[in-house]
Amino acid sequence: MLIGVVRERKTEENRVALTPAGVEALVAAGHRVLVEEAAGEASGFSGTDYEAAGAQVLDGAKVWAESELLTKVKEPVPEEYGSMRRGQIVFAYFHFAASQELTEAVRDSGCVAIAYETIQERDGSLPLLTPMSEVAGRMAIQQAAKYLEREHGGRGVLLGGVPGVAPADVVVIGAGVVGTNAAKMAAGLGARVSILDVNLQKLRYLSDVLPPNVVTLMSNPVTIREALREADVVVSSVLIPGAKSPKLVKREHLALMKKGAVIVDVAIDQGGSTETSRPTNHVNPIYEVDGIVHYCVTNMPGAMPMTSTLALTNATLPFMLQIAGKGWRQACRRSPAIAKGVNVAEGRIVYAPVAEAFGLEYQKLDTLLP
- Write out the catalytic residue numbers: 95, 269
- CA–CA separation, 26 and 91 (whole Å): 15
CB 154 within 8 A of CB 293: yes
* The Cα angle at residue 26 between residues 25 and 28, in degrees rounded to 5: 65
CA distance from start to end of the chain: 21
Q: Which residues contact 339 (CB under 8 A, 6 or more apart)?
A: 332, 333, 365, 369
CB 14 within 8 A of CB 8: yes
What one-character DSSP code corresponds to residue 103?
A: H
What's CA 210's distance to the chain center, in Å?
Answer: 24
- CA–CA separation, 232 and 168 (whole Å): 6
CB 266 within 8 A of CB 137: yes
Q: Is 78 exposed, middle or buried (0-12, 13-18, 19+ CB in 10 A)?
A: exposed
- Listing DSSP states for 322-353 in one string gives HHHHH-HHHHHHH-HHHHHHEEEETTEE--HH
- Listing DSSP states for 158-183 in one string gives -TT-BTTBPPPEEEEE--SHHHHHHH
